[in-house]
Chains A and B, each alone.
Chain A
Amino acid sequence: MEPNTTLTIFWAAVIGFAIIMYVVLDGFDLGVGILFTVVHEDEHRGVMMNSVAPVWDGNETWLVMGGGGLLATFPLAYSVLFPAIYAPLIAMLLGLAFRGVSFEYRWRATKGRFIWNAGFAGGSLLAAFCQGLALGTVLQGVEIANREYAGGWWDWLTPFSILTGLSVVSGYILLGSTWLILKTEGALQERAFGIAKVAGVVTLGFIVAVSIWTPFLGDTYFARWYSWPNILYVSPVPILVVIVAALFWRALLARQERAPFLLALVLFVITYAGLAVSMYPYIAPPTLTIFDAAAPSSSQIFLLYGAPVLLVILLCYTGYSYWVFRGKVTAKSGYH
């Protein structure tokens, strides 16, 4: 019944995959929501919302998969991490609730439309910021004793977690604006190009800031990034970030429509890989590793029967659904 080492690594990779899928997919639709704060024209807002309406629900399902999957494969991590990020987690859920119902409500409201515009923007912003807070809280370390969370209720609020919170907001704006470049045209696309430029620079600044700060949070992080010969193995991460950032800038200047979004996705994947490098094998630094937290082998094996096949199938139909709604979205004529 002991956890199996190979399976533990496999399931950690699956959970990691679910989280990055969530981050990039819901990231762009949360980013579109946040952009309601700067785009005020009703017509544009309608287009923005419609560009994500058919897919947001699927995107958010990755969050449920992350939560449910963590419970299934690393129950101890699930049970100690969530109390550690209690307040931001609940605030995130409430933010997601507000912005989730706004998709339908905005079209149903008559006088109340402004509420759901605000709910969509505010809920998206709150959810994004809280996800960043949660990331920062986990990175800076979680106190555990006797298989329970042993830290305080305000441990999540630190300068570092605020920095990661703002980073995620900025990153999601980057994803959202490049998504709009891809899906819209005319004046709105013009706005999106402008926003993407600013968001690109700001996000890069945040990446640098978090990267410099993280190694000073704990000795393991420091050793991983700055000791010889580790520095050789991890050096591709910053180098790739620089290359992708340069390509991204060039694509924006060349007014390409697809490349900015794809490169923003790549940027997220690289920085995420950087975080994984920092954390492995810890799931709740600085004490709990994936091997400590893994579910017993009977649970790991039971999931192995169905999960990989189901994952492949669901990736296929998720891709199909994106393909059905491909192309530009406009106010008058809908999807072309």
Chain B
Amino acid sequence: MFESADAVLLARFQFAFTVAFHIIFPSFSIGLASFLAVLEGLWLITKRDVYLRLFKYWVRIFAVAFGMGVVSGVVMAYQIGTNWGVFADRAGPIIGPLMGYEVLSAFFLEAGFLGVMLFGLNRVGKGLHFFSTLMVAIGTLGSAFWILSVNSWMQTPAGYEMNEVGQFVAADWAAVIFNPSFPYRLVHMVLAAYITTALVVGAVGAWHLLRGNREEPIRIMFSMAMWMLTIVVPMQLYAGDAHGRNTLEYQPAKIAAIEGHYESYPDGHAPLILLGWPSNEAGETLYSIEVPLLGSLILTHDLTSPLQGLDAFPREDWPPTTIVFFTFRAMVGLGVLMLGLGLFSLYKRIRHKLYDSTWLHRYAVIMGPAGFAAVLCGWVTTEVGRQPFTVYNLLRTADSASPLDAPAVGASLLAFIIVYFFIFGAGTLYILRLMRGTPASSEEAPISEGPTRTAGFTQIQAPEHSRRPEAGD
């Protein structure tokens, strides 16, 4: 099996598959960790039980999602070495230390305080417990900081020089870390994580509202999620636009591919291609539906600045245009729908109908997974758009791989696919089950309880002896 396959292509599939699965969990856990810190903070300040109930409800979901994030993340730390050895050797002196700092400053922080956060409320007291929750939240953000710095450096390398064995060596670490695309990517991704989480929280709240549950915790979670969307989605559109303009400056070929522009527009006046079928073989976007002038307005914010098309770049440097063209449009489309949800909820809120609008709640339920889809589309756009390079314009993907053997890569890819679908499928099922429950009052919902035993969802009660022990009682 796999003897005739292209080993590098299989290795790319393997990396794409494992990293795509992985990014789903941080997108959720970054946002959820911050949400949990806010909930616990509100509980400590207002002393209102409802916030503790919400905290205990979401922390269990967090625990399952975080577990999946950890195990899929460990894989990433080794994947670069198994399949991308040449890249690891050459770029390791730059990206290695950044990832080292990620482990030391973020992963250990999360892991060290996660146990206390999940199991320790009654063992350490409220203050220290809140501190632990904060550390977990800060850890998730710190991790995003470093890994996005690594990724951004691969997109827009800076602050490096080459040594005699062909390794990238840092000449200026500040320039390496704060490379040109990093601030934009960081903001874009962290906002995406917050929006993704708000969409999930909102969908859960809306689903319970649709089922006729109007208890206070349900209303609060729905309201908080909708506020988040109303405020953060417009910020994200602004951040996304800025990120796009940054990409235009540093990776113009990627933008040309996203836009489906094969021709350059030396005097501006570029159209916006809404839809079509970009074809690298044909060298043009087939069946295109265009809006005149709008392309220039969006990209350069004026009509006359010159715009490069793919014809300005050597053919062997073109990214796979068709993929990024469509994933980008899917991401933007989802973003518009998110904006719509935020505005719709604001309208209903002003009219005091936030908890009564069936259409709003249906809309919110449907949008529950939209954040994950948008995050995946966005990452596919930026990563596929970086091709055919691993380090942009400096190291080709084809030259980055280990000496690979197609059967070995293929077999491991197959193993990853089977195992991932099984364990993450099960995890998704368990998370959905937890979401089907409702936030119990705090006396009946110990923080580290085993199987859910919440009101209205009793069929999965566990026998007494098999419950996870409660902290401190």
Contacts and interface: CB of A to CB of B under 8 A. Distances in A.
Interface in B53-99: 63-64, 67-68, 70-75, 77-78, 80-82, 85-97, 99
Interface in A281-336: 295-296, 298-299, 302-303, 306-307, 310-311, 314, 317-318, 320-321, 324-325, 329-335
Interface stretch (B113-121, B211-219, B332-340, B362-370): B113-121
A90 interface: yes
A13 interface: no
Contact of B89 (A46, A57, A147, A302): A147
Chain A interface: which size bin? 35 or more
Nearest to B135: A317
A61 B108 contact: yes
Contacts of A104: 63-64, 67, 427, 430
A296 B167 contact: yes
B426 A325 contact: no
A82 B81 contact: yes
B426 A112 contact: yes
Contact of A83 (B72, B82, B167, B415): B82
Nearest to A97: B71
Contact of B107 (A64, A73, A79, A105): A64
Interface string B339-372: 0000000000000000000000000000000000
A314 B468 contact: no
A20 to B, nearest CB: 16
Given A89-B82, A94-B415, A314 B108 contact: yes
Nearest to A99: B71
A55 interface: yes
Give the secondary structure class of A's interface.
Answer: helix
Given A324-B116, A331-B469, A71 B451 contact: no
Interface stretch (B250-258, B378-386, B402-410): B402-410
A321 B112 contact: yes
B169 A298 contact: yes
Nearest to A317: B112
Contacts of B114: 57-58
A100 B419 CA distance: 13
Contacts of A206: none
Contacts of A320: 112
A133 interface: no
Interface stretch (A148-156, A235-243, A251-259): A148-156
A46 B462 CA distance: 12
Give the secondary structure class of B's interface.
Answer: helix
A313 to B, nearest CB: 9
A215 interface: no
Given A82-B81, A321-B113, A54 B119 contact: yes
A324 B114 CA distance: 12
Given A104-B67, A105-B427, A107-B451, A87 B93 contact: no
B96 to A, nearest CB: 3
B430 A105 contact: yes
Interface in A42-86: 42-43, 46, 50, 53-55, 57-58, 60-61, 63-65, 67-73, 75-76, 78-83, 86
A79 B83 CA distance: 9
B89 to A, nearest CB: 4
Nearest to B434: A108
Given A107-B450, A108-B434, A302 B170 contact: yes
5 contacts: A69-B96, A90-B82, A90-B415, A299-B94, A299-B169
The 8 closest A-B pairs by CB, nearest first: A334-B469, A75-B92, A82-B81, A72-B96, A54-B115, A79-B85, A108-B430, A107-B450
